[in-house]
Structure 1
Amino acid sequence: MKTGKVPENVLKRSVLRQIKTKRREVLCGAGIGVDCATFSFPGEGEIVSCVQEAALVPAGMPGCAGGFPGTFMTMAALIQKCVNNLAAGGGRTAAVLISLMMPESSEESELRMLMAEAEEKCRELSLQIAGGQTRIAEAVSLPVATVTGIGRKWEVSAVPGDARPGQDIVISKWVGLEGTAYLAGRHREKLLRRYPAWFVEEAEHFGRYLSIVTEAQVAVKQGATLMHDASEGGIFGALWELAERAGVGLTVDMRGLPLRQETVEVCECCGANPYELLSGGCLIMISSDGPGLTAALEMAGVPAVTVGKITDSNDRILLNGEEIRYLDRPKSDSMLPLFRQDTEL
C-alpha cells in the first residue's frame, strides 16, 4: 500500500468491519470521518478521546509550522491536530498521553528537545502531559510519536454528529492554510524570485491560524450538529469524509470556498491544487442557521462563510458557475509528491 491514509475501501473492509464488540458506554466510535471517540459514564458526563500518530521532524525545519503530507509532523503540530480533532467532536482537551519510539541512533538531547517542544505546546494550550511511554527501537529510523488526547464535552450531546437535508455548510477561516505554510517555507527562495518578501513571509506564518478550538466552541453554542476539521486531503477530502460519515449528499459552490491570495499564488508557483492541500485550521460546520453561525463566528474574530447545503441524495456536487462536477473519493494530498521531492533533495 502507498504512503498516507489507508484508502477508504480498505479501511472499511479490513479495519472497520473487524470491529464488532460494542459497549453501551461508547456513544461514538470508529468510523469514516470520525476522528475522536465519545464515552458516557453515569454521573460523569461525556468524555472524549482522540489518538494521533506521526513520524517526527525537527521543529526548526523550514515550513514546519503546521504538518507535512503523509505521516510526518512536528511534535507541536501533532498535539495541535489531536486537540483540533477533539474540538471538532465538541470537546475540550484536558490532558495528553505521549508515547515515543526513538531510533537506536538517538541521543538523550534529542529526547529532551522533543519533550520540551511538547511541554511548550501543552503550556500554550493549557494541557497536562499525563503520561505515556518512551522506548528505543531498532525498527524505526525516525522518532515516532503517538499522542492521545482526553477531555470532556463542552455540553452533553452538544454535537449530535448528524447532518440533515437543508442544513447549511459553514467553513471557518481559509482553505489550504497548513499546506501554504509548508510550501512557502520549503520553497522560499523560489517564491522570492516572483513575489515580494512580505508576501512570502505572510504565507510562511499561516501556522498561527491552525487552531480551530475557538470556532468549535462558538459552533457548539450556536447548535451546530456536526463538525469536521480539514487536514490531509484538503477541503475536498474533508467534505467527502463529512458526507460519508453522515450518510448524506451535499452541494457546494466552489467559488465560495475561502482562499487567501497567498495560497493561490504559492500553489500556482509550486504546482499544487489548493483544494487538495493540507488544510489544518479550517473547520467545516453543519448548522440549521448558517447566517447566524457565521455572524457569531465573525463576532468572535473568526472569518467564516456559508458555502453550500446538505442534500437528501448521495451526490456530492461541486458548482463552479454553470459547471457541475461530482466530488470524488479523497485522493492523496496534492503536496505528497512535492514533499517527496523535498526530502530527496
Structure 2
Amino acid sequence: MEIGKLPNELLEKLVISRIKNKREDVITRAGVGEDCAVIDYGKYSCVLSTDPITGATHNIGRLAVNISCNDVASNGAEPVAILMTIMAPPSIKEDDIKVIMDDAGQASKELNVEIVGGHTEITDAVNRTIITTTAIGKQLKVKTLKPEEVKVGDKILLTKMAGIEGTSIIASELEETLSTEISQELLKQAKGFINDISVVKEGMICGEIGVKYMHDITEGGVLGAVWEASKAIKKGVLINKTDIPIAESTKKICDFYNIDPLRLISSGSMLIVCGNEKVDIIKQELRKNSIVITVIGEVTESGVFMKDGDEIEEIAPPESDELYKVI
C-alpha cells in the first residue's frame, strides 16, 4: 500500500464502515472530511481529535501539538488539553527527548493548552520517533458547526497559503540540498513556515462569527481538503486555481522536486465555508489578526471541480501526499 493516510475509499470500506456502535451523545462522529469528534456534555460539548507525526524529524514536538489543536479549532472550539504519546527507537538520546518536549512545551504555551498526560516508550518496533497527540477542546454546544446547513452559492475561503507545512518540512529536512538550488532568503522563508502552522486563532474567530464548516488542510493539500469538504457538506465545489495563494518559496521548492503544491500537506491553512453575508465580516476580523484570507470558490449542486483559465478539471480524491515523493 502507498505511504500516507489511507485513501478515503479504503478508509470508509475498511475502517469507518466497521464502527458498529453509535451513541446518542455523540454529535459528530467519524467520517471523511470531519477533523474531530464532538460529544454532548449538556451546555458544553467536548471536541476531540488525534493525529500522528510521521513525515518529519525536525520540529516534531511543535508539529505534534499544533496539528491536533488545529483539528479541534476546525470546529470553532478552544483547545484545552493535549495527551502525547512518544514512541522512540533505541538509538534516541536523552537530549533528543528533551528537545521534543521543549518544543512541545513552547507550542502548548503559545496556544494556552496543557499537556496533561500520555505515554513515552523506547521500542524497536519503530526506526524513528513517532509522536501521536490527542487534543481535547470545549465549546458551547450551540456553537457546534452545522455542515448540513451549507447551501449552493456559499463561499469557500482559504487562510494563509497552500503547502505551508510541507514547505517547512522539506526545507528543514533537506536544507543542505536546497541551499544550492534556491536563495537563502527563500530557504529562510520556507523554514520559517513552522511558525505559521497553527489555525487555532482563525478557527476560534470563525467559530464565533458563525460559519457552517471548516476543515484543517493536512495530507492531500488544498485539493485533497476540497474533495473531503465536498463529502462532508454533501454538496459540490468549484474553486479557482488562480485564486489560491502560493508562497514563492513553496513554488521554487515544488518546482525543484517536481511536486504539486496544491497536493502538498498544508497544516497552517484552514478551509472555510460560509454564507455570502459572512465573507466581509470574516475578512475584517482575520485581517485585524494579521491572517491572510482569500475567497477561492463556491459551493455547487454536485461534483468537485477546479477552474484554471478557460478550462475546468475534475478534482480527484486525495492519494499519497506529495511530501512522500520527497521524504
In structure 2, the residue matched to 1:92 is 78
DSSP-derived class of the 1:22 partner: coil
Q: Does the CA-based 8 Å contact 1:183-1:270 persist in structure 2? A: no
Indicate how the Cα distance of structure 1 residues 151 and 261 shifts in structure 2: closer, same or farther if over 3 A, else same.
Answer: same
- Residue 215 of structure 2 is aligned to residue 216 of structure 1: no
In structure 1, the residue matched to 2:8 is 8
1:336 to 321, 324, 327: 324
- Residue 89 of structure 2 is aligned to residue 103 of structure 1: yes
Q: Does the CA-based 8 Å contact 1:46-1:152 persist in structure 2? A: yes
User: What does the per-residue CA deviation read over 1:158-185, in whole Å, with 9 as the maximum and x for residues that have no partner?
Assistant: 4223322110001111111112222333
DSSP-derived class of the 1:318 partner: strand
Whole-Å separation in 2 of the counterparts to 1:105 and 1:265: 35
Q: Does the CA-based 8 Å contact 1:291-1:306 persist in structure 2? A: no
Q: Percent identity?
A: 27
Residue 141 of structure 1, CA deviation: 2.5
In structure 2, the residue matched to 1:68 is none
Whole-Å separation in 1 of the counterparts to 2:186 and 2:141: 41
Residue 218 of structure 1, CA deviation: 2.0
- Residue 165 of structure 2 is aligned to residue 178 of structure 1: yes
In structure 2, the residue matched to 1:322 is 310
Indicate how the Cα distance of structure 1 residues 154 and 279 shifts in structure 2: closer, same or farther if over 3 A, else same.
Answer: farther
Residue 250 of structure 1, CA deviation: 0.6
- Residue 286 of structure 2 is aligned to residue 297 of structure 1: yes
* TM-score of the two chains, using structure 1 as the length reference: 0.87
In structure 2, the residue matched to 1:36 is 36
In structure 2, the residue matched to 1:46 is 45
Q: Does the CA-based 8 Å contact 1:237-1:330 persist in structure 2? A: yes
Q: Does the CA-based 8 Å contact 1:84-1:211 persist in structure 2? A: yes
In structure 2, the residue matched to 1:142 is 128
Q: Does the CA-based 8 Å contact 2:79-2:137 persist in structure 1? A: yes
Q: Does the CA-based 8 Å contact 1:158-1:223 persist in structure 2? A: no
Q: Does the CA-based 8 Å contact 2:76-2:208 persist in structure 1? A: no
Aligned letter for 1:270?
Y
* TM-score of the two chains, using structure 2 as the length reference: 0.92
Indicate how the Cα distance of structure 1 residues 187 and 51 shifts in structure 2: closer, same or farther if over 3 A, else same.
Answer: closer
User: What does the per-residue CA deviation read over 1:233-257, in whole Å, with 9 as the maximum and x for residues that have no partner?
Assistant: 1101110111111211011111111
Aligned letter for 1:212?
V
In structure 2, the residue matched to 1:21 is 21
- Give the alignment's Cα RMSD to 1 decimal: 2.0
Indicate how the Cα distance of structure 1 residues 279 and 120 shifts in structure 2: closer, same or farther if over 3 A, else same.
Answer: same
Whole-Å separation in 1 of the counterparts to 2:223 and 2:321: 10
DSSP-derived class of the 2:132 partner: strand
Aligned letter for 1:306?
V
Residue 107 of structure 1, CA deviation: 4.5
Residue 56 of structure 1, CA deviation: 8.2
Indicate how the Cα distance of structure 1 residues 187 and 55 shifts in structure 2: closer, same or farther if over 3 A, else same.
Answer: closer
In structure 2, the residue matched to 1:342 is none
User: What does the per-residue CA deviation read over 1:261-306, in whole Å, with 9 as the maximum and x for residues that have no partner?
Assistant: 2222221122221111121111000010233322332233211111
User: What does the per-residue CA deviation read over 1:212-244, in whole Å, with 9 as the maximum and x for residues that have no partner?
Assistant: 112112211222110001111110111011111
Aligned pairs for 1:107-256 within 5 A? 107-153=93-139, 156-162=142-148, 163-256=150-243
Indicate how the Cα distance of structure 1 residues 194 and 257 shifts in structure 2: closer, same or farther if over 3 A, else same.
Answer: same
Aligned pairs for 1:298-313 within 5 A? 298-313=287-302
* Length, aligned pairs only: 324
Whole-Å separation in 2 of the counterparts to 1:17 and 1:186: 37
DSSP-derived class of the 1:156 partner: helix
